[in-house]
Amino acid sequence: MLIEAHSGFRYLVLLMGIVVIAYSAYGMATGREYDTRMRALSAIFTGVLDLTVLLGFANIFAGVFYPQLGGHIVMMVLAAAVAHIVHGVMKRRPEEQRSYAPHLVGTVVVLGMVVAGILAIGRPVVGG
């Protein structure tokens, strides 16, 4: 059951990543002021990613491990670290210095790492 939950949460990670990218791109394109909705979306994205990583570690502790998981684990932990860095930096910046660009770039990088991590274990990103 843990492996199915971990595998299924990738869809939430991908969906929330796309939502963050779309909202930040819209904010940049329209010149909108940085708002609390962006911070909330970033927090949700980071939280869903954290939960997925936690479920992954639970699978390892439950005895599910094979050699290809090495690259998968490294990529996913780095992706979670990047997500936390972007969210944390933007949260701590003074209000007038906050912008959508770090969320856009950071989330694209995180999703790229997630895709690479999924592909590292020979699984399709969507389906399968």
Q: Which domain holds residue 67?
A: 2-120
Supply the pLDDT for residue 68: 80
**Count of structural domains within the chain:** 1
Identify whether 64 is part of a domain: yes
Identify whether 127 is part of a domain: no
DSSP conformation letters of 83-112: HHHHHHHHHHS-GGG--SHHHHHHHHHHHH
Identify whether 35 is part of a domain: yes
Helical axes 101-120 vs 2-30, angle rounded to 10°: 150
Identify whether 34 is part of a domain: yes
Contacts of residues 29-35 at CB distance under 8 Å and 24 or more positions apart, as own/partner, are: 32/100, 34/95, 34/98, 34/99, 34/100
**Cα 54 to Cα 20: distance, rounded to the nearest angstrom:** 21
Supply the pLDDT for residue 66: 84
Identify whether 58 is part of a domain: yes
Identify whether 108 is part of a domain: yes
Supply the pLDDT for residue 104: 98
Q: Which two tokens stand for residue 91?
A: 């949260």
- pTM reported for the whole predicted model: 0.93
